[in-house]
Structure 1
């Protein structure tokens, strides 16, 4: 096993759930059906801030030097992402600038923060989460395209690209920290489990609205 193979295996194993997370209903669930620009930006900013906190916590107590370095780098990237999204909130004088950074973390980040094993953290944080973010961010891009707001659409295209590049880092770090078959198994299970957590929260939110997540259009 190697990092790139693990990523391909996870992507294939969870293809259906990833496709549904990339459908138009994801944004409906994430915003509580409040499809207004301010709400979309606040949800995005809060998500980026939560990710930064997760990776900062991991970097603070991680025993592997290689993984700790990666987590600190991702934390800085996510702080930058949160700031860039918040800048767009700042442009609207009626919105206020607080991106709700102190809101309760999503089920995804509660799950991530519960992990204390290096292989699991790398699999979950640098494989599972980027695969989820790649799909969900597409819907934010599409929202702003439909709003004829190309500037904000371009912002989220950039954020999607930068988050997607974490998969390359994930493969590299996995190759460094996974030295046994058991390490690889834990990393793979953590990656697929993270996608399941994100999907289950999405499906639960839709179910509360009386909607079915199985339709991806």
Structure 2
């Protein structure tokens, strides 16, 4: 019998390379378009939070009752983190959210949500590392805590998937949505770095 844990493991395996590269410092470089200073990083993260708030707030308005609470909590958390960032958000909406915004069914949205958490956790880890390197432990701690919040949201989404997925088709839809969300994030990462003249692949 398929479970959410199986699907999350499958997504991680399928997107191992993509998630690994999205977990590198080049993600912040791409997000800031090469402006690797504190204000630019905060602005880029703020833009991600603003996009998450908008997507998940919209989902919570028309989601099944089983998932509406999760999406509302995710939107509220993103809004709180956005308000806590002392920097103006950039005007760039992550490409991943175009994929998420097109999802209509609950199982697909939960799958896409899992994909978002896997990417967002990587970004928050990089932000934590960046501000640790900037000798700003308070901001680093804030992002570390935020990463923990995202992991908790993933666990809640997994619990819901175990509840709402009734067939292998449902599980396939959830997995496909997660992969599509991650792939959109990775494609944007590659395209942006190439436009900046940077090799998106690790240099050994």
Give the TM-score range, shorter chain.
over 0.9
CA distances 1:71-95 after superposition (whole Å, capped 9, x unpaired): 111111111111222xxx1xxxxxx
| Contact 1:19/1:216 (<8 A) preserved | no
Q: 1:194 aligns with which of 181, 184, 191?
A: 181
TM-score, normalised via structure 2 length: 0.95
Shift of 1:216: 6.8
Specify which of 96, 119, 137 is matched with residue 108 of structure 1. 96
Structure 1 residue corresponding to 2:89, chosen from 99, 110, 116: 99
Partner of 2:199, secondary structure, is coil
> How many angstroms does 1:33 deviate by?
0.4
2:12 aligns to what? 11
* 1:153 alignment counterpart: 140
Deviation at 1:20, TM superposition (A): 0.3
Using structure 1 for the length normalisation, give the TM-score. 0.89
Deviation at 1:105, TM superposition (A): 2.2
In 1, Cα distance between equivalents of 2:39 and 2:73? 28
Q: Distance in 1 between matches of 2:67 and 2:46?
A: 25
**Residues 66 and 160, structure 2, Cα contact 8 Å, conserved in 1:** yes
SS of the counterpart of 1:205? helix
User: Matched residues in 1 for 2:94 and 2:124: separation?
Assistant: 16
Residue 176 (structure 1) aligns with: 163
Structure 2 counterparts to residues 199-214 of structure 1, below 5 A? 199-214=186-201
Structure 1 position 194, deviation (Å) = 0.8
Structure 1 counterpart SS, 2:201 = coil
Q: Distance in 2 between matches of 1:168 and 1:216?
A: 34
- Contact map agreement 1:23 1:216 (CA 8 A) in 2: no
Aligned 8 A contact 1:6 1:188 in 2: yes
Equivalent in the alignment of 2:76: 76
Q: What are the within-5 Å matches in structure 2 for residues 19-34 of structure 1?
A: 19-34=20-35
Q: How many aligned positions are there?
A: 203
Cα distance, 1:104 vs structure 2: 4.8
Q: Give every structure 1 segment of 4 or more consecutive aligned residues whose post-TM-superposition deviation is greater than 2 Å.
A: 97-100
Gap change, CA 1:49 and 1:216, over 3 Å in 2: farther
CA separation of 1:30 and 1:154: change in aligned 2, threshold 3 A:
same
Moved more, 68-77 or 50-59: 68-77
In the alignment, does 2:33 pair up with 1:35?
Answer: no
Residue ranges of structure 2 left out of the alignment (5+ in a row): none
